[in-house]
Structure 1
Amino acid sequence: MAEIKVPELAESITEGTIAQWVKKVGDRVEKGEFIVELETDKVNAEIISEEAGILTQITAAEGDTVLVGQVIAIVEAGEGAAPAPAPQVTAAPAPAQEEPKAAPAAPAPVQVVEESSERVVASPAARKLAREKGIDLASISPVDPQGRVRVQDVAAHGIAPVATPAAPEAPKATVAVDESRVTVEKMSRRRQTIAKRLLEVRQSTAMLTTFNEIDMTNVMALRSRKKDQFFESTGSRLGFMSFFTKAVVAALKKYPYVNAQISGDEMHLNNFFDIGVAVSTEEGLVVPVVRDADRKNFSEIEDTIAGLAAKARDKKLGLNDLSGGSFTITNGGVFGSLMSTPIMNGTQAGILGMHTIQKRPVAVNGEVEIRPMMYVALSYDHRIIDGKDSVGFLKTVKELIENPEDLLLNS
């Protein structure tokens, strides 16, 4: 027999949510075969079976929260494991036919619970108790306003006088929601984590934002002239992100406190330049990291960003892809945002927000011209970054993007 446990993924991850079982009870599994997908705060992890055999028991259903080290399934090992489920399935109904008065209470509810477990959100302990008592989880009215069935709900379900008055209270939590007009969706674990961490940043930092605008004329002209040659020589597409990444690295070197973080009463000035690049996915925003961006050329930066974005869309990002960034760039301009105030990522002290390029009239050498302009924003932790440094940092980025040849010469 082999126990399938929730593995240790990282020091900061202590629990996860069962996202999907790809195998069901009675299925044969091979050693190393993927049997369940676990959703954590940072990534989705594929849990495998360490032994070949038959999946005989699943103790946590889809949607359940499980802890690291918790047993979530049992695999009976060996060749003899394959026929094992069959006798169990036929043995349970057999007594039901021979002893119709006593036996139906055991097998019948088990089958009902298996069917309803896909739509009822319940803790593993509650599911276990329900199976032992032969109670259909769908028939239980939970106290939790979000509808999660707990052990107390299962235990109270068997007491008729207590269960009856609880019934009218359950709908009260949903009376205000007109299902014909409102669609209720439970937040995914990742969305809950994003919400929690963004709120923590707002509450635990002295965040301030400064703005500037960049004339994109020169960088757009350079990109237009060089993109075909760049693609032929490197096989990479030349975008704006490599220019901004290079400009940010140069500005961080000039203003090191923007590349720092607070730890207790200490300021840690990072001597590395791991730049996080925000990527939008169906499940929310993720920020994979371009490692050692100061050592990469334009082609390597473009390839790294493209690879990370593809992994994000395919849900293949690993913990190493997401951890340890020193500064972040986010581009709301791809969605048409003209101006916004980005929120810092984790313990970092700054984040640069790019926005859409829009043609506007600007004064150039005393004349009004129509130029492609982009608003940029720097949100920063005012506890360690003064206004002078924040403005100087953003001004450096602006000057380098408006004179892109300087970036090419310094690469």
Structure 2
Amino acid sequence: MAIEVRVPEMGESIVEAVIGNWLKREGDAVSAGEALVELETEKVNIEVAAEQSGVLERILKREGETVSVGEVIAVIAEGVAAEAPAARTEAEPARPVAEPQPVAAEVSAAPAERAAPAEAPGVRATPAVRRLAEEYGVDLRQVPASGEGGRITREDVLRYVAQQREAVAAPAGGPNGTTTAPPAAQPEPAAPPSPPPVAPATAPAAPAMVPAMAVDGRREERVRMTQRRKTIAQRLVEAQRTAAMLTTFNEIDMSAVIELRRRWRDRFRERYGVSLGFMSFFTKAVVGALKAFPMLNAEIQGDEIVLKYYYDIGIAVGAEEGLVVPVVRDADRKSFAQIEREIEELARKARERRLTIEDLSGGTFTITNGGVFGSLLSTPILNPPQVGILGMHKIEERPVVVDGQIVVRPMMYVALTYDHRIVDGREAVQFLVRVKELIEDPEQLLLEA
């Protein structure tokens, strides 16, 4: 009996995905619940698991292809797991993989010798990354890791491949008179040469990174956009095309919040197990301002304005594959400690690529903090269908006039981008002034909380 593997429902507004990496190949035995393939969506990457045990009989969609929810992407043959080894030795898998060019002389070793490095039992890497390393003949133990907790990512492998190819292609003296490493020793003559690459019947998706060396030595590389990056690009352009975006600015004296954090930071961590950061103050201030100016907590649906009297605040996080906006739900009902814990957990999940569709769905208003990267001032772009986004920036000591005296204070520029179709300038300016008032007098926040 054949079992169809379909693209699952993936949550709010997601109707398609891109085949990322097949974790199994045709002829592989699979168990119920075992991951078969990674799908790249506009929000998160997800794994599709086998619903029943059997053998992966056919792969219908290749890596890089776009698929829709409900579409059949593979077929599992039920009850023939014992035949899997024979099937794989007698017939070439239908999913062809092009043999990449060697990245160093050691890759010219026999296939049996080449497969071992990718196993690298002491290395932290996903099965997909290990498969990629095996295809390129890369020893994972030599690849610098940039992922959380020393995990090697797909980009780490591709970067290593590019560096090795560049080293092999460079002239003996090296560019600018530098000395390059000597080529690795050639294999023993007795060792059989590696078979030449066999062109596949259907070309697989191109690697994410394809370095190219121009004749004059000026290097370029092409990087395939991920589904998330393509979606980010499309949505930002769509937001600018469909919304009447306008940005208003103000500045906030952060002295009171900084002093409050200084006095309570240690006791707060001892009691709640989490740091008292700036984001909880701004989240609470935004909720207070949204209650005073509800039009900024709305969205447009056709000819109607939908006012929302719940406060799900999106917190923009710069993840490895692109910006994501996980949501702190019911922020008005949460304490400072609960908000800080939730933001910390969402940021950790973003770094470890564990965010779910539920974490990213919805949101009535967004806060983005470019200050953590050193931004002094920016104009944030709306996160549709929301009509407001607050941009925080770097805190810098600047001379300001207070009660007729020039004093130095820690100041932060803040920016509010809003949809002028339903939010007037007066409301937007007053909203930002209200945020400023609440941050500069944090006791008001404690009373409202």
Same structural fold, with TM-score higher than 0.5 when normalized by the shorter chain: yes
Residues 110-168 of structure 1: per-residue CA shift (max 9 Å, x gap)? 78x7132999xxxxxxxxxxxxxx97345x9xxxxx989xxxxxxxxxxxxxxxxxxxx
Q: 1:387 to 1:115 in 2, by over 3 A?
A: closer
1:179 shift after superposition: 8.6
Find the aligned partners of 2:278 and 2:59 in 1 and give their Cα distance: 49
1:114 aligns with 2:86: no
* Letter of the structure 1 residue corresponding to residue 81 of structure 2: A
1:231 shift after superposition: 1.1
1:238, 1:299 within 8 Å by CA — same for their partners in 2? yes
Q: Secondary structure at the match of 1:114?
A: coil
Q: Secondary structure at the match of 1:200?
A: helix
Q: How does 1:267-346 map to 2 (within 5 A)?
A: 267-346=305-384
Q: 1:220 to 1:23 in 2, by over 3 A?
A: same
2:11, 2:358 within 8 Å by CA — same for their partners in 1? no
Find the aligned partners of 1:30 and 1:181 in 2 and give their Cα distance: 45
Aligned match of 1:49: 50
Structure 2: runs of 5 or more not aligned: 102-198
Q: Could you say which structure has the higher helix fraction? A: 1
1:71 shift after superposition: 2.1
* Letter of the structure 2 residue corresponding to residue 4 of structure 1: V
Find the aligned partners of 1:265 and 1:190 in 2 and give their Cα distance: 30
Structure 1 counterpart of 2:437, from 389, 399, 403: 399
Aligned match of 1:32: 33
Aligned match of 2:201: 136
Aligned match of 1:410: 448
Q: Secondary structure at the match of 1:201?
A: helix
1:370 shift after superposition: 1.1
Find the aligned partners of 2:44 and 2:217 in 1 and give their Cα distance: 32
Q: How does 1:8-23 map to 2 (within 5 A)?
A: 8-10=9-11, 12-23=13-24
1:207 aligns with 2:245: yes
1:177 shift after superposition: 11
1:220 shift after superposition: 0.2
Residues 224-278 of structure 1: per-residue CA shift (max 9 Å, x gap)? 1001111111112100000000000000001111111111121111111110100
* Letter of the structure 2 residue corresponding to residue 406 of structure 1: Q
Find the aligned partners of 2:239 and 2:53 in 1 and give their Cα distance: 46
Aligned match of 2:137: none
Aligned match of 1:5: 6
1:294 shift after superposition: 0.4
Aligned match of 2:81: 81
Aligned match of 1:232: 270
Structure 1: runs of 5 or more not aligned: 93-106, 120-133, 141-145, 149-173
Q: Secondary structure at the match of 1:338?
A: coil
1:85 shift after superposition: 5.1
2:213, 2:219 within 8 Å by CA — same for their partners in 1? no
Aligned match of 2:61: 60
1:302 shift after superposition: 0.5
Aligned match of 2:394: 356
1:61, 1:118 within 8 Å by CA — same for their partners in 2? no
Q: 1:176 to 1:351 in 2, by over 3 A?
A: farther
Q: Secondary structure at the match of 1:182?
A: strand
* Letter of the structure 2 residue corresponding to residue 407 of structure 1: L
1:116, 1:136 within 8 Å by CA — same for their partners in 2? no
Aligned match of 2:122: none
1:56, 1:85 within 8 Å by CA — same for their partners in 2? no
Find the aligned partners of 1:296 and 1:348 in 2 and give their Cα distance: 22
Residues 19-72 of structure 1: per-residue CA shift (max 9 Å, x gap)? 112222232211111121111112211100011122232222222222222222
RMSD of aligned Cα (Å): 2.5
Residues 375-400 of structure 1: per-residue CA shift (max 9 Å, x gap)? 00000011111111111100011011
Q: Secondary structure at the match of 1:83?
A: helix
Find the aligned partners of 1:318 and 1:135 in 2 and give their Cα distance: 35
Q: 1:288 to 1:175 in 2, by over 3 A?
A: same
Q: TM-score, normalising length from structure 2?
A: 0.73
1:21, 1:35 within 8 Å by CA — same for their partners in 2? yes
* Letter of the structure 1 residue corresponding to residue 369 of structure 2: N
Aligned match of 1:259: 297
- When Rg is computed on C-alpha atoms for both structures, the one with the higher figure is 1
Q: TM-score, normalising length from structure 1?
A: 0.79
* Letter of the structure 2 residue corresponding to residue 316 of structure 1: R
1:116, 1:137 within 8 Å by CA — same for their partners in 2? no
* Letter of the structure 2 residue corresponding to residue 59 of structure 1: L
* Letter of the structure 2 residue corresponding to residue 24 of structure 1: R
* Letter of the structure 2 residue corresponding to residue 82 of structure 1: A
* Letter of the structure 2 residue corresponding to residue 69 of structure 1: G
